[in-house]
Structures are given as structure tokens and as C-alpha cells.
Structure 1
Amino acid sequence: MSETDMRKTDVSDVDLADPVLSEGAEPSAADFETEPATASAEDVAELPGSASPEPAYATVRQPIRHDSAIKHVTGAAIYIDDIREPAGTLHLAPGWCPTYAKAKLGSVDLSEVKAAPGVVAVLTKDDVPGINDVSSAMGDDPMLADGEILFWGQVVFCVVATSRDAARRAARLARFEATPETPLITVEDALTADSHVLPEYRFGRGDVDKTLLNTQRRLSGSIAIGGQEHFYLEGQIAMAVPGEDGDMLVYSSTQHPSEVQHTVAKVLGLMEASVVVETRRMGGGFGGKESQANQWAALAALAAHVTGKPCKMRLDRDDDMIMTGKRHDEVATFDVGYDADGRILAVDLAFDSRCGYSADLSLGVNDRTMFHADNAYFYPVVDIVSRRLKTNTYSNTAFRGFGGPQGVIAAERIIDTIAITLGRDPLEVRKRNFYGPGRDVTPYGQTVEDNVLQDLVGKLETSCDYARRRQAVRTFNTRSRILKKGLALTPIKFGISFTLIHLNQAGALVHLYTDGSIHLNHGGTEMGQGLFLKVAQVVAEEFGVSVDQVKITATNTAKVPNTAPTAASSGSDLNGMAALIACREIKGRLVPFLAGEYGVQEDQIAFRDGKVIIGNEAVPLKEVAKKAYLNRIQLSSAGYYKTPKIHWNRDKAEGRPFYYYAYGAACSEVTIDTMTGEMRVDRVDILHDCGKSLNPAIDIGQIEGGFVQGMGWLTTEELVHDAQGRLRTHAPSTYKIPTCSDVPEDFRVELYESPEGNREESIFRSKAVGEPPLMLPASVFSAIVDALASIRPGMVPPLDAPATPEAIMKAVHAMRRGGA
């Protein structure tokens, strides 16, 4: 199957393959340009906020290549470790006690550390002029250990040396005196000790206990859901450069520059206005750099403050994996009542979540687990509770999906359990429980107004030939004793917005220069996902120019202040709208001026093809900008946007936390070897709802990447701790992310376009795409369950996530023993 066939899109016949270079030719920028696709009549729609239809779009909705694609593949993209270091730059390495996960600190002998070659300073909590805390909000996350060790890998001191090698060697020379205590490592440890990092939280409706007692069919079960290491290509890194009057410039690989600014100011005892944080790009983030970049940036800034010299902190990969948080691992337990057709009547669902030693972002993450514990299914009577447990492990944090994937897996396990118990096709049971008319209110009280589940799933069911393949799988399993196949089609309904309502805001700064070029800056950060390009497409479309006339600049807290993190799949929605508003403010000054200058009506002025159409004249944008400047028309604007309609009262568990939902579905076919536990994904079909995609090429890439990352979480990526709380899987040799050979050879992706009336006025009617695809590989996990279920029909396979070969073999043995 060709690459084009495997990456289908509803944009008309656009070849997304790389251009072919002639033998021996050197690639130039022109070789990598993508020809703009011609928009069809159906692409003509109203712009958000417009009163009349616009002509076909030239830039948005086109599959334009990532703005840094050439730089990525040629090594020219500048990451923090590529920035030319100022003369005299010093390097940092964290010092920690490799013996204990929990202990009272006595003395720490740093004499050999300080005497080591190249060492300039050794930082401890006593060197902090401000507050020794790098938490997002709770004040419970010390930058440097203060009298106790709370997890294996906690930073106790930091070495500042003339080279990174010297700093790392010196950091190993410390001698610790400590009194060990018994650490809490697992969910079970924390439950036994009644150890909570945050109070439990619950919401629901109806009398669950009474309904369950009165249902004729009832089942219960549980699933352990593993955590996940972010494994970004670029590890945690920051460089701090001191300025005059105590000012500090910090280059940080962070998804939240404003929070790093706040944290550095807090640690150094400075005004936030004295700290500037800049982020041009990250080599991946996935949530691991939303809050946990704080510590490393603050340490670099503290070192720069103490030494008066530029200082860089770059974590070694092992240290990064040991010291930073992961996706929350959880145990979901459920009690469900249902009818003879598999329709759910009541759900009692509990999540026990290992949060680690501090709260970090666990409140929001675990709330979102609860928000997505229904996935695409209506629960008439429901009670959902989340217990947020404190353990002596790294502090778990944001990860792509932000808790939603754990809720989705629990929902899909419930559906699979019902289907296997009844002997029904799981897809049939899924469709019976979909949200629909009269069954459209979530457990948290939001009405599902934009539901496309039936249509989207129906289209995928037909296009992937589900019915025929279901029968083929049954036939194969009847004839094959060792190899077993599984097939599953699972949906996703994912809410788009930060559930912490005040984060749903963004700013953008747009300058139009007199040569017609445009400077763009906004609060979003680029981590490879194509956000900068999408926002540039919005700006280019508004001014009617090509994207190469829009200069994308690094995110900088001195340009756009008080920004939200680039997270919750909201980067394009928020920053795109803020940039759009800034553009329209500039055009709102230009249009009346031009109407007066040229004696035309304002509605006779349009921006397209690099020119401004004024009546019957086509004037280059640069001439218009120059004329406006000479007439003292402001050509700069700071746009601001806040998401409308949303509100959420957490105490009362009521409101509308999400602006809209993104939908999708995936059908996965797998083969497992019951002699070894090995598993292969044979084919994947995806249909995903991006609304009117801002950039189909970027969105398809996000869907493919998100799917593979989620597949890794559910099948190969296993975090293992020993009884002392030490993470044993802290390197690529022991922690297995998916490789190229794990990607399904038959991988088909199509974009679904939801009906116009089913979309809110998001940026150019597009929908978020960053996180929802990560939950589509629930279909892979359910397909493995389906394959295992064929061993003993009617028995639910006791499979936890991730479904590693060992986990599959354990389930195989249990199935063959009949659960004994």
C-alpha cells in the first residue's frame, strides 16, 4: 500500500510525499515548498466573527509543510543547547542521594564536591534568596531538599562547574547521613496508610446503590492502568543569563513560559517584570514541560544569581527519567448494572491515582480522568470518585491527554466486560450506549450538543469493512490454536478547554512593517506540533499574503505576558483567535483610512494575493503599509481572546467546562502469539474529527503520532519500581517506546468533517487535534482483549495496561486455567 493511500484526507488529491530531488543535487528551500491546494466551493465558509462569506481560502485549510521541517531534518533548528553560549558560561548538575526514597536528612558532607576540579559553587536550600518552592500552586515542591528526602531522585544540592562533565563527576562525591523511613511506593501502600496528596473528589447523579440493587444484570471488575514516561527527544534544559539590576533572562524548554517566569521570580525574590523567559521551540514536551520545567530553569537562574555568570542546566537522560514526573498510573474499579441488550443502567466507578510526593498538577489531571470516565457513553445513574494518593515517588504530572486517557480506558473496559459477558459484538454494545437524543447529559452536567458519534462511527464501520473482518477474525481463531486475532472499533469524545477556567485566555502581538512583512508573537509554545505554523497561516490569510511573509518569533514573556500553558489541545484555538483579533484590529484602522484615501466604500476593500484590492485597484501590501505609516496609522496590535460560554463550579460539580468536543474512532486488528505473548498490530483505520482542519498535513501527522504514542503507553511502555522505591526503567535500554517496526504497516487515516451546525465558532471552524488521537489506541488494547477472549468465550481476560508480552502471557494462562 502506498504512503498516499495510508494517509487519506478529505483535501483534494494533495500529495504529501517529499519532493524527489535529482541525483547529486543539493536540496534548497524551494525543493521543500508545498504548492497551495485549490479550495473547493464547500471550503467557503464564514470566518468567526464575520457577517458575510469570504472567498475560498488560500492559506488556512491547506496542507502546508511545518515551518521548521527543513531545519529539523538538516539540523539547523536551534534548540537551547544549540544557542551560542556567552563567554564564561557555567554548567550545572543535580546532586541527590541514591540510597533512599524516604529519609530524614542529617548532615550532607559536600567538602569533596567543592574541592573537585572545575567546581565554582555548590548550591543548597540555604542559597535561595526567595522561596524554595517550584510548585505550580500548592507550595509543596521544594527546589532543593529541605531536611528530608521524599522520593528516590530528589535533588538535594546542585553543582556549578566550568563544564558539564566536571559538574556531573563532582555531584557523585557527596556523603549523606540520613535516617531511613519506610516509603510508600504503590497505590496499595498509599491506600493502606490513608495517604492523600489532595482530598478525594466525586460527582454523579441518581441513587447508584439503589439502582444497582434493582438491576437484574450486574458485574464488577477493575483494571490497573500504567503510567508513562514522556521521553521527549530534548530533555529538560534551561540557560540563565544575568543582567543589570538583578534582571534575569532565561531560555527554557517549557510549555509554560509565564509559569517559569513566576517561579524564577519567586525563588530569586524578584519582581516578575525583572525576569524574561524565552522559548523558541522544544524537542517535544507532551505535558512533561508544562510544570516540571520550573525546577531546572529556577536552578539555572539561582546559579546565575549566585555566580554572576551565565549558567546552563541540561539533565542527563537517566537523571531526567528518575527525577521528573510521568503520566499518573491508576487502578480503576467499577460496579455496573445493565440490561439484556448491554445498555448501561448504572455505574459506580472509582479511580485510585498515584500522584507522587507532591500535588503538582494532580488536581486537574485527576479531575479530567473523571470528566472522561464516560468517554462516548451515557450513564443514566452514576457515581465517579477519585482518590489522589501521596507516595514516595516522583511527582506525577501532565501528559498528553491530561488524565483523560485513564478515564477512557476504564470506560472501554466496562464496555468490553459487558460484551464478553453477554456474548455480543463489542461494537454493538458500544453503539447501544452512545450519547443521543434524550441521553445527552454527562455525569458532570454538560449537555452534549455537537454529537457526531453515530455518523462518524458508522462511516468508519463501513469504510474499514468491519462486519466482514469481524467474521474473518472469528474464523481464523477457530482454526488457529497458537495465534489469535482480535478486532475492535472504539470511539472517542474529548472535551476541549482547560477545566481551570481562567487558563482559557491568550494574547498575541502582531506588527505590520512598512515593507509588507509581518511580525508574529503569541503566548503559545512550539514543541513540534505545528502550532506556530497554524497561527502564521491565520495571520497570512487575514492579510492575504503567503506564509513566508509572516515572521514567526520565539515565545517571550516580555512581548505577550501572563499566558496560559500550551496544553489541553487549546494552542491553536486560543492563540489563533488572539492573532486573528490582532490582525483585524490593524485592518480595522487601515480600511477606513484607505476608503478615504481612494474614495471607495469600505466593503470594496479586500486583502488577498499579497495585495490590497481597493475598488478597481490592486495595491501591494507594502505600499499600503508605507502610506499608512506616513499618515500615522498604528500598524501594531496586541490581540486578546478568552473562550466564550464555558463555566465550571467545582464545588457544586456543575457547569460547562468544555467549549466543544472533538470526536474520533479507530478500528484496530491485532495478532497475539499465545506461546510467547508477543503482539503485532496488523491494521489500523482512523476517522477523526478536526472540524475544518487548519492544516490537514499537520493534523494527520498529529493523529498518527498521537496514536503511536498512545499505543506505546498501552502495550510496551512499562514503569518498574523496586521495593525500595527506585525506578528501574530509566533508560532506553529498559524502557521501551514504540519503534518504526511497531507502527502498523497498514495505517489508514482520514479526516472527518463534522456538520457546520455542529461546530462552535472556533478558529476558522477547526477543532483541536493535539490530545484526542492519543486515546484512539484504546482500540488496540480492546483488540488484544478480544483476541484473548477467544481462548475461553464468556470469560473476561484479566489484562492490565500496558499489555506487554508478560502481561499477555499472564492473561493467557489465566484464561486457560479458567481464572483459577
Structure 2
Amino acid sequence: MNRHASPSLTAKAIVGGVASSQRHDSAHKHVTGQAVYIDDMPEPAGLLHAYLGLSTVPHGAILSMDLTAVRAAPGVVDVLTGHDMPAANDISPTHRHDEPVLATDKVQFLGQPIFAVIAETREQARRACKLAKVEYAEEPFVTDIRDIDRRAGKLVTPPLTLKRGDAQTAIEAAPRRLKGTMRLGGQDHFYLEGHIAMAIPGEDMDVTLYSSTQHPSEVQHMVAQVLGVPSHAVTVEIRRMGGGFGGKETQGNQFAAIAAVAAKRHGRAVKIRPDRDDDMTATGKRHDFVIDYEVGFDDEGQILGVDYFFAARAGFSADLSGAVTDRALFHCDNTYYYPAVKAQSAPLYTNTVSNTAFRGFGGPQGIVGCERVIDEVAFALGKDPLEIRKRNFYGTTDRNVTPYHQTVEDNIIHRIVAELEASADYAGRRQAIAAFNAGSPVLKRGLALTPVKFGISFTATHFNQAGALVHVYADGSVHLNHGGTEMGQGLYVKIAQVVAEEFQIDIDQVKITATTTAKVPNTSATAASSGTDLNGMAAQAAARTIRQRLTDFAAEKYQVPADQVVFLPNRVRVGNQEIAFGALTQQAYMARVQLSATGFYKTPKIHWDRDKGQGTPFYYFAYGAACAEVEIDTLTGETMVERVDILHETGRSLNKAIDIGQIEGGFIQGMGWLTTEELVWDAKGRLRTHAPSTYKIPLASDRPKIFNVTLADWPEAGEPTIHRSKAVGEPPFCLGVAVFHAISDAVASVADHRLCPRLDAPATPECVLMAVERLNREAGRPA
């Protein structure tokens, strides 16, 4: 054994440890088309295809369903109805038994799946669906929560109330008070890869599912429930999704269940993939809200009391609406301290598809409502909204208790905003924009700087856990598996970096494997921005267990104290000699040392009592701010985003390249939600915006002309997260609020900022144009 390291071993550090900018592990495959998604997998011999038959009325009893022509259509092997589910016709994720796999007695929205055709080809199944003859006894329906009494409407799940102090007394005693209502639209997930599942039947009760899902364990449990088998009989695997954004947290259950039932029924593999139109029609979206607010404040703009009522279009079933509307309340404070506050939710039943998780999970809706109140106060006092924002910030030693009674201990929003205000030259540009608007009768510019404080953790405490499995093979290569799913966000490469760092080996020595319930059980959804926090800690725990075994083995074999066994880049120093990592693992294997370990992590310190509306639901908060400048055409309502500056906190970033990409993408998605993405139902209950031709996501041409993103990766004190990093999935989405408020600022300029525009979202060209005309009328000017 050489007692001194060779120059080639000592000259360089590991490639791909934490805090290094590594490319996404599948980036080269994404751009070349080599990345394998479920629809790209080789099709098993005898594969059948399923397609959904959808209801054609929004509400009513099913009187008859004649499927004779469907069954007789070319290539059709079978037609499934809800009555064909072996054990349970239910996929409700909250176990409220209100969401059937296939509707049987009644339909509750137009486009609800009522049968599934199983055929030799997908096209045969798709065409056969059109031959069904279904008779309904139609009943009254409601699609828009503005058409009902929002405070007395039917709820799909119990509401929540948060309160601290006596909000109504504080409002009534305040020197100034005002109230208003805001309409906030929903959003379609519009993933690149739609919903899809493929089921392969096995021996006995077994079935293997390839499902495009963010929550493999839930698909496993739901399919087992529908089939009437134990969970161990169902294996769910997913290597990658072409986008998820929350829409694949629960919505994949239906497709997986239908594929599994058909596969077991016929002993053949079955795949189901809806067209984009049917996917958008039949699957849930971001909840749209109507937000009522009343606020009391003083002459300097300090809020003294506030009362919110968040009514949400939940759709026909509970799905995740309770948790989503809860989180809207959790973020109705954003970065602001309320001396007295009351906030209520109302997840309302409507005859529309059941809305579901979407990036931010209700938090963005809470933040938008909160920022509207800030704007209202600013306009009422004739002050810059940024001044009112800063005046109401949470304190660092006092004024730091949230509406849900959690103390904010990691507040850095003062520094975030101060640094962005300076770097973006907010004051100078505010003056320049005023001068531009004074000389421009048609084109008007607006500027806004908005902050974000976003709570990190699942509010359902039991979801804050994760497991991982790490194998070290005799040659020193590493196999990594964990419960997190990869949907393009870079989770896999980050967790691989964590493991590479523990063993001090190059990242190409770590094999990233598909998420599967057969390796790591009882996983939580990859959601709530917690994927890296949870799975990173679990993988680190597993790697450390093996590293400790290697340390103990080396210390015993070479007769040195354990503290003289040091892991260095791709090698291990044992006393005064160095051994290649692979050589040590080979020796350990020959000595029968276990080189496999599981890891587990549960988030500490969190608890939540929903009945009391009190607790510590979040482990920590992530902070950021965005400054946006826009230009609007007052004759057409069209908007152009001129410049955006972002300062966003990531802690000690595990991978700056990935994090910057997430911030940019999240911001654009948030901007799209608030500006162009509009969901429209017609008078017959049909979703009219169900395809790229009618639903407008942001294009490359819609990105800011100047786009500056800076990471606030200061070594601030905080909770001991994985390598002191912070979540970066959902918080950046909320930065898009800056564009919405910049548009509002531009609209306000037509009335010299004397009137609050009270824009609803999304601020489409039509909405902006109507707001301009309304302000002109109120200001006594010709429209």
C-alpha cells in the first residue's frame, strides 16, 4: 500500500458536491429528446389502450347509459364503468368518499369521466368513446362563486378561521378604514407531459404501475383500495415527469386506477393518455378566489386591524381544497404584522372539476389579497406602496407573531428589500417613470417592488417525513433511491450532490434511480417546496450510516483511532496513508461490512392544531423580493414587461444553476397566472379554455426585456436544513406579484395615482383596458 497520495489524487476536489453549479442530470436528454417518459417506454406485447368517456352536462342524474355501440366498435375489448371497480369506486385523497373513479348515478361537472373504453389501439378507444348514448335528468348548476352567497354556500370541506386580537374592534377604532373585494383567477398546470399511466399485471394480486405522479405512495394506496388488495401488491414507479406543479399530486390517481383495473381484468398491459383537451377539461386546476377585505389603519399607513374572507371555487369534491384554502390564510400576512387579524376560508362547492394543488398551494392567493390591502392603504393616503410595505414589515424582536400564532424568528425581509431597492435603483426609476408618463398620453409605465415570506413545510404534519436507500457497491459506485420525484426541478441532481459530498466522491459515481414504492415506502408527495429538505436529509442519513461503517472498518483494520480516518476527494486517509475510495469499499466488502443503509428524516419543531387555528406549521420561512417595470398601452390594454430585478434567498444553495433556473421559471409562471392565463366557463358549464389555442401561457417573447436574478445566499442564522440551504420551489412563484402591481401602478397613472385601480387578476389586455376606462370615468376624463 502506498503511504503517500499521488499528485493525481491530491490535486483536485470532487466534481459535483454541494454548493457547486451542476447541470440538471437529464438536461442533455431533455434537449435531444433522449429523456424517456412513460409514453416513450417500449410497449409491452399485447398492450391495450384506455380512453375516458366524459359527461356532456354539468350537473344531473344519469338516467341511462347505452354503451352497446361503444362495445361493438372496432378494436374495443372492454368498457369499464364505476360498477366495474373491484372493491371501491373511490379515489378521494382525503378519504371523504366524494370522488369516484367513474361517476355512476350522477355527474357534477361537464367533462366528468363516466366510463372508460379499453381497445387495441388508442385511436380506436378514443373514437369509440364518441358512440355512447347517455341520458341525463339535468339539474341546476353553478360554475362561478360570484353567482352564489359566498358566506352561506355549500362547502366541500370544513373552513378555517385564524384570529389574533379583536380585528373588528381595531378596525372600528382606527383613524381610517376601508373595504373592498378582489377577484383572483385560477390557472391550468399546462405541463409539457400530460397525465399518463401504464399498468402491467403480475402474478397473483400484483400490478406494476408507471404513473406520471408527484405522489407514488398515494397512487399505490388508491389503486390498492380500488382493486381491494394490500399495498404491497401494487408497485408504482416514476423516473421523471414532464412537469407537475402540483397537478400530479392527486390527479394521477384516476388514470392509474383505470389502467390497473383493466390490466388485472384482462391480464394484459394497459396504457391511458388523454388528449390535451380532455386532460384540461377533466383534471383540477389552481383555485380561483373572491377575496373580501376590510382594514383599519392610521394616517401614516400602519395597519391596525384587518379582516379577510377567502372564498374559493373548490369544484365538485374536496380533493385538497381544505389544505389549499388553509394555506391561503397562512399567507394572508405575507411579510406584514397585523396587531389584530381575522381571516376565514370558504372552499365552495361548484359544478366544475375539483380544483387541486398548484405551485404555492394557496399561498400565492393569500399573498395577492394581502398586497391588494397594502395598495388600498397607499392610495388612500397618497403614498408610495413601497413605503406602506416597509412600514408594516414584521419586526425582528417584536411585532413578530403571525395570525396563526407562530413567532417569526428568521426575518430578513428588511435587508432583502433594502438591498433590492438600492440595486434596482427604485427611487431613481420612480422619478424617471413619472417624467415619462407625463409626456406620454398613450403608453404608460408602472413600477412595483413586492416582498415574499413563504412558509416551508407541509401543513399536514405527518407528511413532513422522508426515506432514502443508499447502496455502495464493492467497486465504490453508489446507488441512490429516495421518495422524491423528478419533474424537471432538479431534485435528483441535488440529492445526488448531497450523497457525493458525504462520501467525497465525484457525482458521476452516484447513480440516480427511478422513484419506486418497492424501495422506499410510505413517501410524501414531492410538494410544498420540501423535496430537497426532506429527501436530502434522509439520503444524508443513509450515506452517513455507511460512511461510519467504513470508518469503523478502516480504523480496526489499520489499527488507528477513528478520528484519523478522513474522507478526502475520491480517497480516504487512514492514519498516514491514503486509499482510493473504491479500494476501501472493496476491502470492506471482502470483510463482510454492510454497505447498504436506509435513511429517514422527520422535520422537527412543527405542530399544528387546526381546531384552535394555532401552532407552528412551518419549520422556517423563505424570503425574496422582486422589482418589476412594465409598460401598458392605454388604447389596447396590452402590457410589456420592461425589466425585472429579483433578490431571492436560498441559504447556502446546493446548486446555484438549478436554483436560478427555478427562480426564473417560478417567476414567469407566477407572472403568467396574474396576466395572461384565464380560465373561462360558458353559460352551459363548458370550460372554453381547454387547449393551447384558447389558453395563453407566457411565451418566450413575454419574458422581461431585462431580467436580473441574484441569490441572497448570506450565511444567516437559521434552522439546520440540509447544508443550510433553503427551499426554492414555490416561493419564487410569488415574486410574479410584482408584475401585477406594476401594471396596477401604470393604470393608476392615468388618474395621477389618486384612485386605486382595483385590478382583478388575471390582468389580461381586456381587464387592463376596462380598468383604464373606469379610472378615466371616475377622474372625469374622456375614456
Compute the TM-score of the two structures, normalised by the length of structure 2: 0.97
Cα distance between partner residues in 2 of 1:115 and 1:646:
57
Cα distance between partner residues in 1 of 2:719 and 2:563:
26
| 1:96 corresponds to | 54
| 1:8 corresponds to | none
Cα distance between partner residues in 1 of 2:184 and 2:81:
37
SS in 1 for 2:553: helix
SS in 1 for 2:441: coil
* Cα distance, 1:194 vs structure 2: 2.2
| 1:699 corresponds to | 659
Deviations 1:377-429 (A, max 9, x none): 00110000011100000000000000000000001111111111211111111
Matches within 5 A, 1:553-592: 553-592=513-552
Matches within 5 A, 1:85-484: 85-98=43-56, 100-137=57-94, 138-191=96-149, 194-436=153-395, 437-484=397-444
1:554 maps to a residue whose letter is A
* Cα distance, 1:604 vs structure 2: 1.5
2:87 maps to a residue whose letter is G
Q: 1:789 aligns with which of 748, 751, 762?
A: 748
Compute the TM-score of the two structures, normalised by the length of structure 1: 0.92
Q: 1:816 aligns with which of 762, 773, 776?
A: 776
Q: 1:490 aligns with which of 432, 450, 462?
A: 450
Distance 1:228 1:125, change over 3 A: same
| 1:70 corresponds to | 28
| 1:641 corresponds to | 601
* Cα distance, 1:755 vs structure 2: 3.7
| 1:774 corresponds to | 733
**Alpha-carbon contact 2:470-2:480 (below 8 Å) kept:** yes
* Cα distance, 1:96 vs structure 2: 1.6
SS in 1 for 2:157: strand
**Alpha-carbon contact 2:15-2:506 (below 8 Å) kept:** no
2:304 maps to a residue whose letter is L
Cα distance between partner residues in 2 of 1:111 and 1:262:
33
* Cα distance, 1:756 vs structure 2: 3.0
* Cα distance, 1:777 vs structure 2: 1.0
Cα distance between partner residues in 2 of 1:753 and 1:534:
17
Greater Cα shift, 435-444 or 229-238: 435-444
Cα distance between partner residues in 1 of 2:424 and 2:370:
23
2:24 maps to a residue whose letter is H
**Alpha-carbon contact 2:675-2:761 (below 8 Å) kept:** yes
* Cα distance, 1:189 vs structure 2: 3.3
1:634 maps to a residue whose letter is Q
* Cα distance, 1:608 vs structure 2: 2.4
**Alpha-carbon contact 1:190-1:390 (below 8 Å) kept:** no
**Alpha-carbon contact 1:92-1:159 (below 8 Å) kept:** yes
SS in 2 for 1:558: coil
SS in 2 for 1:196: coil
Greater Cα shift, 165-174 or 126-135: 126-135
Cα distance between partner residues in 2 of 1:811 and 1:135:
41
1:232 maps to a residue whose letter is Y
Distance 1:58 1:159, change over 3 A: closer
Cα distance between partner residues in 2 of 1:650 and 1:388:
15
* Cα distance, 1:188 vs structure 2: 2.6
* Cα distance, 1:558 vs structure 2: 0.7
Cα distance between partner residues in 2 of 1:612 and 1:447:
44
**Structure 1: gaps spanning 5 or more residues:** 1-37, 40-54
**Alpha-carbon contact 2:158-2:322 (below 8 Å) kept:** no
Distance 1:795 1:689, change over 3 A: same
1:424 maps to a residue whose letter is K
1:184 maps to a residue whose letter is V
**Alpha-carbon contact 2:14-2:570 (below 8 Å) kept:** no
* Cα distance, 1:616 vs structure 2: 2.1
Cα distance between partner residues in 2 of 1:738 and 1:210:
44
Matches within 5 A, 1:517-556: 517-556=477-516
Greater Cα shift, 66-75 or 198-207: 198-207
Cα distance between partner residues in 2 of 1:811 and 1:80:
46
* Cα distance, 1:258 vs structure 2: 0.1
* Cα distance, 1:190 vs structure 2: 4.1
Distance 1:422 1:232, change over 3 A: same
The alignment yields a C-alpha RMSD, in angstroms, of 1.3
Greater Cα shift, 55-64 or 249-258: 55-64
| 1:6 corresponds to | none
2:112 maps to a residue whose letter is Q
1:118 maps to a residue whose letter is G
**Alpha-carbon contact 1:798-1:814 (below 8 Å) kept:** no
Matches within 5 A, 1:745-764: 745-757=705-717, 759-764=718-723
1:505 correspondence with 2:462: no
Cα distance between partner residues in 2 of 1:185 and 1:649:
32
**Alpha-carbon contact 2:646-2:709 (below 8 Å) kept:** yes
| 1:30 corresponds to | none
**Alpha-carbon contact 1:190-1:389 (below 8 Å) kept:** no
| 1:45 corresponds to | none
Distance 1:134 1:547, change over 3 A: same
* Cα distance, 1:57 vs structure 2: 9.7
Cα distance between partner residues in 2 of 1:57 and 1:693:
16
2:672 maps to a residue whose letter is G
Cα distance between partner residues in 2 of 1:755 and 1:376:
21
Cα distance between partner residues in 2 of 1:343 and 1:637:
54
| 2:623 corresponds to | 663
| 1:24 corresponds to | none
SS in 2 for 1:588: helix
**Alpha-carbon contact 2:659-2:728 (below 8 Å) kept:** yes
Cα distance between partner residues in 2 of 1:71 and 1:208:
55
The number of residues matched between the two structures is 766
* Cα distance, 1:707 vs structure 2: 0.3
SS in 2 for 1:200: coil
* Cα distance, 1:60 vs structure 2: 0.3
SS in 2 for 1:87: coil
Cα distance between partner residues in 2 of 1:207 and 1:457:
30
SS in 2 for 1:408: helix
SS in 2 for 1:776: helix
* Cα distance, 1:819 vs structure 2: 7.5
